[in-house]
């Protein structure tokens, strides 16, 4: 079993209260191309223990089951477990820090634990530079979303 953990952050000119909801299963549909999920809980309001599924998205080689581990909207914090059976488990954390009323720092941490040869191969290839490029794309996509919204 091998593990890898990376954290990156970026600043964006948006209030945290408008930005944070975009880091939910429903919210990501607004800004992340190709993001879709299978809603198995019925509602779309995020809460701890909320479960949904994705198909081959966000470093996934297969279907993934996501579960909200922690949800503290008042502190702009969400953590997810992402389980790809037989391959890897991810722990994803997104935290927004309100710098002022119109600027937010977003900090994103991904940790992966390999469960198999294929999962361990992914873990060993998930470099810091690859991760930083992935998170830099978040900033670009979010900026485009807010530009379209204006």
Answering whether pTM is above 0.85, one says yes
Q: What average pLDDT is seen over the chain? A: 94
pLDDT of residue 96: 98
Chain centroid offset of residue 70 CA: 13
HEC secondary structure over 81-104: EEEECCCEEEEEEEEEEEEECCEE
Please say whether the beta carbons of 59 and 32 come within 8 A: no
Domain residues for 45? Answer: 3-149
pLDDT of residue 62: 75
Burial of 90-107, coded b for 16+ CB within 10 Å and e otherwise, reads: bbbbbbbeeeeeeebebb
pLDDT of residue 55: 85
Report the CATH number at residue 50. Answer: 3.30.530.20
How many folded domains does the chain comprise? 1
State how far the Cα of 100 lies from the Cα of 114, in Å rounded to an integer: 39
Q: Which residues of the chain have pLDDT under 70?
A: 56-61
pLDDT of residue 150: 73
């Amino acid at each position: 079993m091998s593990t890898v953990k990376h954290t990156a952050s970026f600043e964006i000119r948006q209030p945290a209260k408008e930005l944070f909801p975009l880091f939910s299963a429903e919210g990501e549909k607004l800004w992340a191309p190709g993001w879709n999920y299978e809603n198995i809980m019925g509602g779309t309001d995020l809460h701890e223990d909320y479960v949904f599924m994705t198909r081959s998205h966000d470093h996934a080689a297969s279907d993934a089951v996501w579960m909200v581990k922690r949800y503290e909207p008042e502190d702009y914090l969400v953590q997810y477990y992402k389980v790809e059976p037989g391959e890897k488990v991810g722990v994803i954390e997104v935290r927004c820090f309100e710098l002022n009323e119109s600027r937010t720092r977003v900090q994103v941490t991904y940790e992966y634990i390999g469960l198999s040869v294929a999962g361990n191969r992914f873990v060993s290839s998930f470099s810091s530079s690859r991760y930083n490029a992935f998170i830099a794309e978040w900033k670009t996509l979010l900026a485009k979303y807010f530009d379209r919204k204006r």
